[in-house]
Amino acid sequence: MGTRNHQFKVERLSRFLVYMLGHRPDEFGLVPDAEGYVTYRELLQALHEEPGWRYVRRSHINEVLMGKDRALFQPEDRRIRTVDRRWRMAPGGAPEDPPGILLTPVRQKAHPVVVEKGLWPPEGRFLVLTPDRDMALRIGKRRDRKPVLMEISVPAAEKRGISFHAFGCLYLCSRIPAECITGPPVSRDILERRAAEKAATAAPSPPVRKPEPGTFTMDASRDPDRLRRSKGKKRKGWKEASRKIRKGKRR
């Protein structure tokens, strides 16, 4: 009985993974890469957000990949995809017409940088936006316990040449200028921490070397030999002056 129950759980997980990866990854806030892969880390985070699936670990997914449904998946070391993918991602196609305001989460630490410089995705990926506040929070909490939700003005972005492409219930774009972003003010704690980090990384003044025991520091201004040399040194033209004096005496 226990073996049959375990096998049922493996098959149930397999069906759920096929749906998540092959049918509607957007429903779970997942955006596969250009080859259709999702990292195991992202997949497990999304699974743990679903009721009844918090128990799933990488070992449980490995059981699926060793079972009778293994031909449905194409796993790699750190990522996985399904062979059959029903979704379509076409950011190079015609742009969509999204709502006027979209939301995207940012980490608290990145908040001041986003306000100042705008949003840019990691290399080879897209910015993920959504009109749904709960979905934005769900995505954001995978990277920060208290993400900051930023509002994106779609009309302002489109005026600056930004295109938005639908991926299920999500929207993708390549960048968002700072002028198109509004959100809560940066917290004082974050600003103070950032100022402290800048101060810590500023170039320190060169240290003053203290003489070690048994040594002394040379000071050219106190060199007695230099003073003697300067006293005994005759100004330029002294020979000519002496000759003039001798000539005057002879006369």
| 106 plus 173 within the same structural domain | yes
The answer to whether residue 47 is domain-embedded is yes
CB atoms within 10 A of CB 222: 8
Average pLDDT over residues 221-248: 57
Flag whether 249 is in a domain. no
pLDDT of residue 216: 56
pLDDT at 100 over 80: yes
Distance (Å, whole) CA 235 – CA 227: 15
- pLDDT value of residue 250: 55
Half-sphere exposure of 36 (CA within 13 A, CB side): 17
As to burial, measured by CB atoms within 10 angstroms (0-12 exposed, 13-18 middle, 19+ buried), residue 28 is buried
Q: How far apart are CA 241 and CA 116, in angstroms?
A: 75
Task: Collect all residues with Cβ–Cβ distance below 8 Å to 202 and sequence separation of at least 6.
Answer: none
- Residues 155-202 have pLDDT tens digits of 999 999 999 999 999 999 999 999 999 999 987 777 777 667 777 776
The pLDDT tens digits of the residues spanning 6-15 come to 999 999 999 9
Average pLDDT over residues 24-53: 97
Residues with Cβ within 8 Å of residue 153, at least 6 apart in sequence: 100, 101, 180, 181, 182
Supply the DSSP symbol for 123.
T
The stretch 237-250 carries a mean pLDDT of 58
Do 64 and 133 belong to one domain? no
Domain with residue 19: its CATH number is: 1.10.10.970
Is 203 within a domain? no
Please provide the DSSP assignment of 183-233 as one string: -SPPPHHHHHHHHHHHHHHSPPPPPPPPPPTT-----GGG-HHHHHHHHHP
Q: Are residues 129 and 78 in the same domain?
A: no
Q: Which helix (H) or strand (E) holds 155?
A: helix 154-159
Structural domain including 164 reads 101-189
- 150 plus 116 within the same structural domain: yes
The count of structural domains within the chain is: 2
pLDDT at 214: 58
Whether residue 213 lies inside any domain: the answer is no
> How far apart, in Å, are the Cα atoms of 43 and each of 38, 80, 153?
7, 9, 30
Model confidence, pTM: 0.74
Domain boundary pick from 164, 189, 214: 189
- Write out pLDDT tens, residues 124-164: 889 999 999 999 999 999 999 999 999 999 999 999 999 99
Model confidence at 57: pLDDT above 80: yes
pLDDT at 123: 86
